[in-house]
A and B are shown apart, each in its own frame.
Chain A
Amino acid sequence: MTTGIKRTITQEKVVLSSYTNLFLLGVLVLMVFNLYLIFVWVPTDQNLGNVQRVFYFHVPIAWVGFLAFFIVFIASVVYLIRGSEKWDALAYSAAEIGVLFTSLMLLTGILWAKPVWGVWWTWDARLTTTLILWFIYVAYLMLRAYAPRGSQGARYSAILGIIGFIDVPIVYFAVNWWRTLHPEYVVGPAAESGSLETSMLVALLISVVTFTALFSYLLTQRYSLRWAETLIERLHYNRV
């Protein structure tokens, strides 16, 4: 039993080191190229100026955050049905990265909102829903830290992963209706932004691809680390 687990760990490690270095190299090249596009190649926005470049970070980061939470949802459902720890490790890893990217999304959003809308924060439906989303998945990580180790904690967080994901559209509806009752007071110069120029769209799409690649790299890394942790824990319990 123990030797089997040891062998699994070594195998995973070998698989990891040969592929991931290439993967990492690819992601790094993409990111440098992406930075060049964002800061040099793309024309400066006429209305907003240089600050508009944060857009090429903000939108892909937001996309990655939502993608991560969608993965948490799917992995949680499969975990509850199948009970395989691999799905739990995937859900946990995605949740961690999701919280990181949602935090970055909120921060880049705040940085962008100040020059564009004149305020750091406004209780608009999208912003409020994102904040609540962030709270739900911070609670997910807290639950993980405070719940008993092993399958009980995993089941608890899977439940929250499912309930939280189902709740998000309802939160959005509620906040949206609530906003229509309290009309927006912030009307900045960029309240109506025109359609994107082609070069801007290209830069945005490449940035989305880059951040998705970065996300997949982080996710595979975190996942294999988490899986190794689980195996080591199993090894430890077997000895006790």
Chain B
Amino acid sequence: MIRNFLGPIWAIAWKDILLEIRTKEIVTPVVVFAILVVVIFNFAIEPTPQMVAAVAPGILWVAFTFAGILGLNRTFSLEKDKGSLDGLMLCPVSRDTIYFGKVLGSYLFMLAVEAIMLPVFAVLFNLSLFLPEVILVAATATLGFAAVGTVFSAMAANTRSREIMLPVLFFPIALPVVIAAVEGTAGTLRGDGWSEIGRWVQLIGVFDVIFLVVSGFAFHFALEE
């Protein structure tokens, strides 16, 4: 039963991963872009060693959100350009399966980008970021991004000037996740206890659950022709 449900989801995600392994169109350029964002912030803020811990979470999450937007833009424009979305919709699977498959694909891409970014960021800002709390915050927050981002990406792919439409749709909705992720990361770097960090993780978790359900429902209507 679970296998029947998860199998097609994984197949759709694997299709995207395989495409990415062969073309390297998302992860490589997005990582370069994210590092550039970090470098620009370094000049914009000029953090001294004392203030690094205070500004680093913000910079990190700005880089992650911008990178996430770039990746999300690709996931559906890719399907749109070659008309492969129609092929995907002809598959004998429900729209939920397509939605969760695309969410899983985008989620793994974003996690890959973040996994490369964290050590680079840690070196550039001289911070140790490989803490379980940071990784937990990043893993849950990125899931929230993928959950709302996928449905907006499907919508933006069909609109004019889609590159600008996706961030305009995405940022206001994803704001609670951004706030919670920044505060959770900052709390970890300050050395706050789990009670402080945990409530931000809970907030992200609530957002994830609500928007996986609502966006999954909305996705049916987004795909209809």
A residues touching B (Cβ–Cβ < 8 Å)? 80, 132, 135-136, 138-139, 142-143, 146-148, 152, 155-156, 158-160, 162-164, 166-167, 170-171, 173-175, 177-178, 181
Q: Judge whether B169 and A181 touch: CB under 8 Å.
A: no
B209-225: CB near A (< 8 Å → 1, else 0) gives 01100110010011011
Q: Judge whether B173 and A147 touch: CB under 8 Å.
A: no
Assuming the A-B contacts A159-B151, A159-B155, A159-B222, are A166 and B169 also in contact, with contact meaning beta carbons closer than 8 angstroms in the complex? no
Q: Judge whether B210 and A170 touch: CB under 8 Å.
A: yes
Q: Judge whether B169 and A160 touch: CB under 8 Å.
A: yes
- Say if the beta carbon of B38 comes within 8 Å of chain A: no
Q: Judge whether B172 and A136 touch: CB under 8 Å.
A: yes
Q: Chain B, interface size: which category?
A: 20 to 34
Assuming the A-B contacts A148-B159, A163-B148, A170-B210, are A132 and B222 also in contact, with contact meaning beta carbons closer than 8 angstroms in the complex? no
A109 to chain B, nearest CB (A): 18
A161 to chain B, nearest CB (A): 10
Q: SS class of chain A's interface: helix, strand, loop or mixed?
A: helix
Checking B183, B218, B225 against A163 with a beta-carbon cut-off of 8 angstroms, the contacting residue is B218
Q: Judge whether B165 and A143 touch: CB under 8 Å.
A: yes
Q: Judge whether B179 and A155 touch: CB under 8 Å.
A: no
Q: Judge whether B155 and A170 touch: CB under 8 Å.
A: no
A163 — which chain B residues lie within 8 A by C-beta?
148, 151, 173, 211, 214-215, 218
Stretch of B8-16, B24-32, B44-52, B199-207 contacting A (4+ beta carbons < 8 Å): B199-207
A139 — which chain B residues lie within 8 A by C-beta?
168-169, 172
B224 to chain A, nearest CB (A): 7
- Say if the beta carbon of B160 comes within 8 Å of chain A: yes
CA distance A107 to B224 in the complex (A): 39
Q: Judge whether A171 and B222 touch: CB under 8 Å.
A: no
B151 — which chain A residues lie within 8 A by C-beta?
159, 163
CA distance A112 to B221 in the complex (A): 42
Checking A146, A162, A181 against B159 with a beta-carbon cut-off of 8 angstroms, the contacting residue is A146
B residues 132-169 near A (Cβ < 8 Å) are: 148, 151, 155, 158-162, 165, 168-169
A146 — which chain B residues lie within 8 A by C-beta?
159-162, 165
CA distance A148 to B168 in the complex (A): 17
CA distance A173 to B180 in the complex (A): 10
Question: B173 — nearest CB in chain A belongs to which residue?
Answer: A167
CA distance A135 to B168 in the complex (A): 8
CA distance A159 to B162 in the complex (A): 17
- Say if the beta carbon of B119 comes within 8 Å of chain A: no
Apart from A143-B169, A146-B160, list 10 A-B contacts with CB within 8 A: A136-B173, A139-B172, A155-B224, A156-B158, A163-B148, A163-B215, A170-B210, A173-B176, A173-B203, A174-B179
